[in-house]
Amino acid sequence: AQKVTQAQTEISVVEKEDVTLDCVYETRDTTYYLFWYKQPPSGELVFLIRRNSFDEQNEISGRYSWNFQKSTSSFNFTITASQVVDSAVYFCALSEGQTGANNLFFGTGTRLTVIP
Amino acid sequence: DTGVSQNPRHKITKRGQNVTFRCDPISEHNRLYWYRQTLGQGPEFLTYFQNEAQLEKSRLLSDRFSAERPKGSFSTLEIQRTEQGDSAMYLCASSLWTGGHNYGYTFGSGTRLTVV
């Protein structure tokens, strides 16, 4: 069965600090996708990244970077030089397989608060 | 096309009443998903459509819930005889399924339901 675990419920950092949000997943599929979404107080889920199971290359996008390690079933997200606007709930999600619903299984989220 | 649109944004209803939510997906997307998000949790999959066909329902979708996508464009989610436990954010997402891959998975801002 699929599962996504975000062990950090809440994190607070001071502005300009770096912060890493952890995500561990479980799946029996060999083909799957991993996602990160940001949910600000407005409620909308903002897409950040999608990574497929065959691409373990780490990715950097501005202040954001992602570390995908199949050996430990982890897909961690790092924000460098955090800003107040980064305050939100961040969700990691898993989508299995190349056929079927491809619905997303979400973790319980990590609430990030960046203190000015 | 400005994305996935959901109406209303907020709905307060009395226990026992019926409510209906609407989702307008991105126009070229053939898949439409409904999710439910309760406080402090990640979104949970309810059901999805490919064009007008409802292809999968989660066990979370009780008999009081019904979803339709009559012309393969917008979708409605109806909850009959609402209960306080139905209070949640209802999120809609759409995507383009083609060639065995799912592209552009985009969420709307959600409809927040409060049952009093």
pLDDT digits (tens, 9 = 90+) for A10-55: 999 999 999 999 999 999 988 898 999 999 988 889 999 988 888 8
How far is Cα A89 from Cα A45, in angstroms, rounded to an integer?
Answer: 9
Q: What percent of chain B has pLDDT over 70?
A: 99
How far is Cα A100 from Cα B100, in angstroms, rounded to an integer?
Answer: 9
Model confidence over B17-64: pLDDT tens digits?
A: 999 999 999 999 999 999 999 998 999 999 999 999 999 999 988 999
User: Taking 90 as the threshold, does the pLDDT of residue A56 lie above it?
Assistant: no
Candidate from A98, A103, A108 with C-beta closest to B42: A108
Q: Residue B33 and residue A44: Cβ atoms within 8 Å?
A: no
On average, the pLDDT of chain B sits at: 93
A chain contacts of residue B105, beta-carbon cutoff 8 Å? 35, 47, 50, 104
Helix (H) or strand (E) holding A61, with range, is strand A59-61
Query: In sequence order, what are the beta bridge partners of B53?
Result: B50
Q: Residue A47 and residue B107: Cβ atoms within 8 Å?
A: yes
Beta strands in chain A (DSSP E): 3-5, 10-14, 19-21, 24-26, 32-39, 46-52, 59-61, 64-69, 74-79, 88-96, 105-106, 110-115
Model confidence over A59-73: pLDDT tens digits?
A: 888 999 999 999 999
User: Taking 60 as the threshold, does the pLDDT of residue B76 lie above it?
Assistant: yes
Q: Tell me which of A45, A90, A111 to substitute to probe the interface with B (most B C-beta atoms closer than 10 Å).
A: A45
What does the pLDDT read at residue A101?
65
pLDDT band, very low/low/confident/very high, at A113 (cuts 50, 70, 90):
very high
User: Taking 70 as the threshold, does the pLDDT of residue A98 lie above it?
Assistant: no
